[in-house]
Structure 1
Amino acid sequence: MGTLRFSGHESFQCRNLWLKKGFDFVTNPDESRTDFNHDLAVLDLGVGKNMVSSIRFWLKAFDMVDDENEQPTQLAEYLFSESGRDPFLEDLGTLWLLHYKLVKKSEASIYHLVFNRFRKQRIEFTKEHLFSYLVNECERLDENHSPNSIEKDVGVFLKSYVTPDQQKKKDKIEDRYSSLLIDLNLVKKFKNYGTQENEWYKIESSDREMLPIEIFFYVILDNFDTSSTNANRRKSISFHKLMNEDNSPGNIFALTPDALVTKINQLVQNFYGVVYKDNAGVRELQFNAEFDKEEILDKYYAKN
């Protein structure tokens, strides 16, 4: 995973249209207008200076631009270009795809840690639980990070996924409901009145019926290299790895074991050459054909 990274978002969660705004900015034909540090960036993006920095951060965090020269990635072009498949992020499947990219990229470490590690320790938690876990991770890895930065990361993480309280009127409605990932319903807020701190959160494993099978398949192909260009490509993946390995669909989407079996069976039904074996205690997904992850996305967006 590399060195942990906190901060960079300027305390703003990614808003619905920010990735599209950022994509249009970095692809401006006038290269003099593609510099986030330029005074004109505020005008071109239509946001304040801190938000300009935040948009730049989120483009990298969602793996929409490369790290070196901040040019759009292939997936960013696929989604946001003039012929893009979902430039305004109207499809729930795209949000699942972006959630996966955010966790896997680990530019913002909290997302990788929460979905791959932390939720295996605690399904239900408070802000303090998550903060303490992150501090302990920093100590375990012998890394120094500002507690204030970690605390802000916790707040932004929760604002990214949790549907806001109707009762809290201090925030503007458009600010409360413009967070990019809240429609995934991955992180839920609840009251735990039997404890000193009654504002709790939970990431429960679920069947994720609204998760498109093509997006599920894309994650498998992207995370477990099955491409024909790789001489060491995997021709089979164990159920355990699909459920538990870093950035696996089981972790990324918080699936129950039964839900993972259901999704795998849907794969077998929809994609010739995918086979699921469950014999003598050995459970694995096998590939008897070659699949291209971009073609899988094409199939999804062609019907939506």
Structure 2
Amino acid sequence: MQLDSRSTSFGRHETFPLRYGWLPKGFEAIQHDPHVLQKPEAAMVTLGVGRNMVNAIQYWLQTTGIVESSGEPQATDIGKIMFDSHRGDPYLEDDTTLWVIHWLIASNATQATGFFWFFNRYAAPRFSDKELLEGLTEFVKNTLQQKKRSQNTLKSDISTITRMYAAMPGRTDEHLDSPLADLGLIEADPHSGYRSLRTNRPFLPVTALHFALSQRFAAEPEQPALPVRSLLYGDDGKASPGAIFRLSESGFMEKLEQLMSTSYPGCYELRDTAGVNQLYRGSELPDPQSILEHYYRSS
């Protein structure tokens, strides 16, 4: 949620983008045996994948916050709510689930630093793999002050980001099985490689934005309000819902209006304070887990 140059991670996915069945299968396996992913041979049989994929599944479970990443392995409250077989979305059939998973990855500055950088700090609307690598290398060197980071490791992050989010025409490899490609956040561009544009995104589920905003407020409990600029652009080292969801300014404000007036009244309030547009937490703003629980229960 907050970028810290002392705590970063690149390339731990072993170049495997997240696939459709990995989070539900991994969650179910952890429920039956909390230590299964620490026993490679047993995990390979249980999950039906190779050894490297076991490591990748463990990484994605931890990065999305579905499984606790420190101490005793166990499913988190968010994991239990999201993948509950009766009231959750264990088969990733709900768009809200996919957008929330995307937010959980792209806001994780500690375990998915390359993803955090791309969605929060990289502003170019069109780019090539080479330009992405140059941008990430500069960020690691100048912002993180990490001069010895391997280029191959950074390349693996760039490759995984584009394969995970961009459905390339004519490509038939296994990486098209990533659920996050359906979000349309990165698209193939015949002229420059890729494009990732800020738009109004009318199909962004308002609950996903509500969840993201609630997590931002939960991360700063002493703050009654957050600057709209920070929520839009993330230029202060913190996760930005506007940037992560690739929302234009007008799209972000439209979604906020929908949140405040129709979907979740009483949770937020916009005010201009000393010339700064700020979003205040309302008296009825629930915690992130409660937002998801209520959503799945009422869906």
Matches within 5 A, 1:64-79: 64-68=66-70, 69-79=72-82
User: Aligned partner of 1:47: which letter?
Assistant: V
Would you say the 8 A contact 2:82–2:89 is kept in 1?
yes
Report the AA paired with residue 211 of structure 1.
Answer: L
Question: In 2, Cα distance between the equivalents of 1:287 and 1:168?
Answer: 45
The Cα of 1:97 is off from its aligned counterpart by 0.3
In the superposition, the TM-score normalised over structure 1's length comes to 0.86
**Shift of the alpha carbon at 1:58?**
1.1
Residue 237 of structure 1 aligns to a residue in which SS? strand
Partner of 1:63: 65
Q: Of 146, 162, 166, which residue of structure 2 is paired with 1:162? A: 166
**Cα deviation per residue 1:181-210 (whole Å; 9 max; x = unaligned)?**
011100011111xxxxxx511110011111
Q: 1:130 aligns with which of 129, 132, 145?
A: 132
Match of 2:290 in 1: 295
Residue 100 (structure 2) pairs with residue 97 (structure 1):
yes
CA offsets 1:252-285 (integer angstroms, 9 cap, x no match): 1111111111111111212332332358844222
* Equivalent in the alignment of 2:39: 37
Letter in structure 2 aligned against 1:73? T
Letter in 1 for 2:68: D
Alpha-carbon distance, 1:236 to partner: 2.6
Rounded to whole Å, the distance in 2 between the matches of 1:278 and 1:204 is 28
Moved over 6 A (4+): none
Partner SS state of residue 280, structure 2: strand
Q: Extract unaligned runs of 5+ from structure 1.
A: 193-198
Deviations 1:133-182 (A, max 9, x none): 122222221342221121122111101100132x235x3xxx24311201
Separation of aligned partners in 2, 1:12 and 1:226: 29
Q: What are the Cα deviations for residues 91-127 of structure 1, in whole angstroms up to 9, with x where unaligned?
A: 11111101110011231211100011112xx221100
How far is the alpha carbon of 1:82 from its aligned partner? 3.4
Rg comparison, structure with higher value: 1
Which position in structure 1 is the counterpart of 2:271? 277
Aligned equivalent of 1:243:
232
Query: Unaligned regions of 5+ residues in structure 2, if any?
Result: none
Q: 1:231-257 deviations in whole A, cap 9, x for unaligned?
A: x2x333332222123212111111111
- Answer 1 or 2: higher relative contact order, Cα 8 Å, separation at least 6: 2
Structure 1 residues 84 and 265, CA gap change in structure 2 (3 angstroms):
same
Corresponding residue of 2:208: 215
Instruction: Name 1:4's counterpart in structure 2.
Output: 8
Q: Distance in 2 between matches of 1:59 and 1:108?
A: 12
How far apart in 1 are the matches of 2:211 and 2:61?
20
Three-state SS of the structure 1 residue aligned to 2:179 is coil
Q: SS at the partner of 1:27?
A: helix
Over aligned residues, Cα RMSD in angstroms?
A: 2.2
Secondary structure, counterpart of 1:277 in structure 2: strand
Question: Residue type of the partner of 2:96?
Answer: G
Q: Is the 8 A contact 2:14 2:52 kept in 1?
A: yes
Residue of structure 1 in register with 2:88 after alignment: 85
Percent pairwise identity: 27
Q: How far, CA to CA, are the matches of 1:176 and 1:6 in structure 2?
A: 19
How far did residue 47 of structure 1 move?
A: 0.7
